[in-house]
Amino acid sequence: MIDIEFNRDKKTVADLIKLAHHQHIPVILSNHDFQATPDQQTLISRFQQMAARNADIAKIAVMPQNSQDVLTLLTATTIANQKLTIPLISMSMGELGKISRITGPQFGSTLSFATVGRASAPGQLSVEDVRKSFKILN
């Protein structure tokens, strides 16, 4: 798989997706916002745009400023998951967002990211903690 950032030059992204698909490589089209959480409709629209641009999986990671932001992401994920046919990945980052990393599947997020050592994004949990949480919730 290849993970391509959604907010790059549209032609470059389209060319990369086409090249990856030509090589039978699935594409995750992702959007990261390390500053804030967009409103619900913007998040849903981004998921839809990713699907329309031929992503195999659409991924959004945002930074919540408060607990409502986490709920906004989870609600947008639920709605987009009901509308789209491709798998979705979503997560809120940081301390506030940790809950989204373990409850994501209940809201339509296909997978989570966990650490095997040093975190690559704020709020990532260890593989052990994610496994324990998934067992409790599922």
As annotated, the active-site residues are 32, 59
Q: Can you list the positions of beta strands (E) in the chain? A: 2-5, 27-33, 57-62, 88-92, 114-115, 125-126
Read off the DSSP letter of residue 54: T
Distance between CA atoms of residues 106 and 103, nearest Å: 6
- In DSSP notation, 110-130 reads ----EESSS-SSTTPEEHHHH
Distance between CA atoms of residues 107 and 78, nearest Å: 5
CB 97 within 8 A of CB 124: no
